[in-house]
Amino acid sequence: MGTFRYVVADVFTDTPLVGNPVAVFTDGRGLEDEQMQRLARELNLSETVFVFPAKAGGTARIRIFTPALELPFAGHPTLGTAFVLAAPLQLDEIRLETLKGIVPVRLEREEGRIAFGRMVQPVPTWKAFAGEGPLLAALGVERSELPVEEYDNGAQHVYVALGSEDEVARLRPNLSQADLPEALGTNCFAGSGKRWKTRMFGLGGIAEDPATGSAAGPLAVHLARHGKIAWGDEIEISQGAEIGRPSTLYARADGSAEQIERVEVGGSAVVVARGEFRLP
């Protein structure tokens, strides 16, 4: 029997049992791809991470699975893994190798405890979303306040701007009627200035995600491209309240639409559980 230990952290919060939980298997050696997918399905969290020795100059290499599929990159698993691995190593920065490249995470401490982390995300690409009509119908909304566009930073997200935070909170989507790819997340948001509310549906078999770090960076890009914030402004994003997992994310995009220099997403995390699987 092989023993595979994992740590559960709640991410984009400093309070246990809220935020977005992630399971981090701190040593994934000996696990096959099918076993990792089945473990992710067994735990049934938004994502589960498996840690391996570095290959490309990072601190460690990670693979990220939803209950349904593997993702090249995702935000809350990367940040949660940084908290889990950096605490015993006493690191101020950890560089995690993902299938989308190395993601550096800077860590801030208070009284010896990691209190906050900031990850430099892959710079996204974007394009107009071809299925706008069916998507709006599936969401039960008439229009988007901004162009409906799809972003890709290793995870794929489409963005729909609504007129108010109340409209976002009232959403009861039926995305099955839009026939969306399983690897595409639908993000509905509203707000102004530096404070925004968002909900994310559908990515990787997830009905609704409590906190989507991979969508936070592109949201900052989207808002800056369309003049809702200035390039370099940090926004605060609220997510997850409707499913009892309130979360707070911070994001900023530096540069310009012609040349994005840096996309950064930050937040807190707290370790809440440890366990192990014994597998033949």
Helix axes 75-89, 213-225, angle to 10 degrees: 120
Tens of pLDDT, residue by residue, the chain (280 residues): 899 999 999 999 999 999 999 999 999 999 999 999 999 999 999 999 999 999 999 999 999 999 999 999 999 999 999 999 998 888 899 999 999 999 999 999 998 899 999 999 999 999 999 999 999 999 999 999 999 999 999 999 999 999 999 999 999 999 988 889 999 999 999 999 999 999 999 998 889 999 999 999 999 999 999 999 999 999 999 999 999 999 999 999 999 999 999 999 999 999 999 999 999 8
Task: Write down the pTM of the prediction.
Answer: 0.96
Query: What is the distance between the alpha carbons of residues 141 and 133, in angstroms, rounded to a whole number?
Result: 10
Q: Taking the domains of the chain in order of start, what are their residue ranges? A: 2-121+267-279, 125-260
Architecture of domain 2-121+267-279: Roll (3.10)
Q: Check: CATH 3.30.360.10 for 125-260?
A: no
Q: Which of 32, 34, 42, 47 is the catalytic position? A: 47
46 close to 66: Cβ distance less than 8 angstroms: yes
47 counts as catalytic: yes
Q: How many CB atoms lie under 10 A from the CB of residue 270?
A: 20
Distances (CA, A) of 54 to 1, 33, 59, 74, 227: 25, 18, 6, 18, 40
| Phi, psi for 259 (deg, rounded to 5) | -150, 90
